[in-house]
Structure 1
Amino acid sequence: MTANKDPKTPPPQEQDQQPGIESNMHPEPEYIRKDYKGSQKLDGKVAIITGGDSGIGRSISVHYAQEGANVAIIYLNEDKDAHETKQLVESAGQKCLLIAGDIADPAFCNQAVKQVMDQFNQIDIVINNAAEQHPQSDFMNISQNQLERTFKTNVFGMFYMTQAALPHMKKGSTIINTSSITAYQGNKDLIDYSSTKGAITTFTRSLSESLIGKGIRVNAVAPGPIWTPLIPSTFNAKKVDTFGSNTPMKRMGQPKELGPAYVYLASEDSSYVSGEVIHINGGTIVNG
């Protein structure tokens, strides 16, 4: 896989449908540092990662494998990306289960969890990462179908997957949700998406309060502009050409810059952390 060396912005490009395909991006996202060395922080654990086939999800999957975890990747239909990620996990010496389907369907979430239990007989980490977004410059153009679809994937899917997995989790287990800088700053062209990310942040805090007595921690990561397949499949080529340039660091982030945060939140390194959000956004201060 080719990789760029922290470009400030990508060249103009776009893809015509969501979810986007990582292998069609140029440059392809960087999912792990070449010098990253795992230290078995997740040894023997099993993680469910929604949207784990590409982008941030691929970075989480590979980092977790480097740290000794087996991984179950939940994805919609991006088979090529999913199989490439599976190979990367297995090359790190860990097992990877691929499950394709729509997390907006609670029956699918229940079946996916059953497959994970049949394969691994345990669930220690749930990563609610899958999401979609559909920019609209005019609020009035957000259709009922778009609104419902965005909430079903980003919020309902998170609820369904967590509810399906939770009965199999125990003291020491962790849940990590992917929020967004848009939950804190807002975004005039992503009103419905930003609203779902606000819901995810509040879900994280509320579920943490609910589960902390059981010894299950719940946290979140709020990325800024990160180079993932969602970007060229969402925005036009002109928008992509300036992606990330409005951050204090004047560049977009790479998935490899998020993976270690998910390792931290899943490991004993964060044993006194719950209900919190880690902001990885190129220096934008949001204080939330």
Structure 2
Amino acid sequence: MGKVAKLVLLGTGLIGGSFSLALKRAGLVGEVVGVGRDLANLERALELGVVDTTSTDAVAAVQGADLVLLATPVGQMGRLMTAIAPSLPPQCIVTDGGSTKQDVVALYRECLPNHLAWCLPGHPIAGSDLSGAAAARYGLYEGRRVVLTPLVETRQEVVERLSALWRACGAEVFHMDAVEHDSIFAAVSHVPHLVAFAYMNALLDRRNVEACLDFAATGFRDFTRIAGSHPAMWRDIALANRDAVVGDLKSNIARLSELVALIEAGEVGPLTTYIERASNARVDWDARRKEH
């Protein structure tokens, strides 16, 4: 596996920064350039050794790059792709860390039509409620999964090289169709975050919200942890994966309505069955996860 002479991070936070640190530890990257608009965050990235140099100019930064990772919210990717298109070296690999893929695939086609052979959309499944360069850490991807969704035009050597780099970070790499990706992650990532936001907003509407928060303990902490996630990022994800997200949210609303009806009717048997089905599935999932 060849060393990446120059890696450019368009977005210098948890995802891009942790990728950089992992490749540095593996000895697989030379220069890492962090690009962003937040000067304080870029300075912090330098202090922590996440990047070697910084820039606020994406167009200049990608010149001479071997690999560009778009590690910004999905809503910013189109603008960045359009900006860097004229400056990309001919064989520079362009990938991303977006949580949705059909919309990002469309952006590659719209903004980088002459570079598609070197484009490979991706999704490292290693999120956090923390953000910024200070959140980046060694080992974030160890034992985690990374999904790559190759375009029809993507060269096989690009798939092999990027897969190898992610494996060097400790990740398990999967290849998947973008449509299937978005369906799966609407159910297990996007909607859980949105439900947590909805729950927090419902709580904030209560007249005794301060007392509720004062008495909140581990159940509240565990259920609402992801409600502290980056607002702009999750707004963009919800809109980017709209169809799948709306479908799954409606399914959740139907299940909540069913739960309300069971409680109102005081139906002990059906209510127990409803809870047991979910509880058993969650316990089984956790047991399987711990086996791997």
TM-score (normalizing by structure 2): 0.34
TM-score (normalizing by structure 1): 0.34
- Relative contact order higher in (CA < 8 Å, ≥ 6 apart): 1
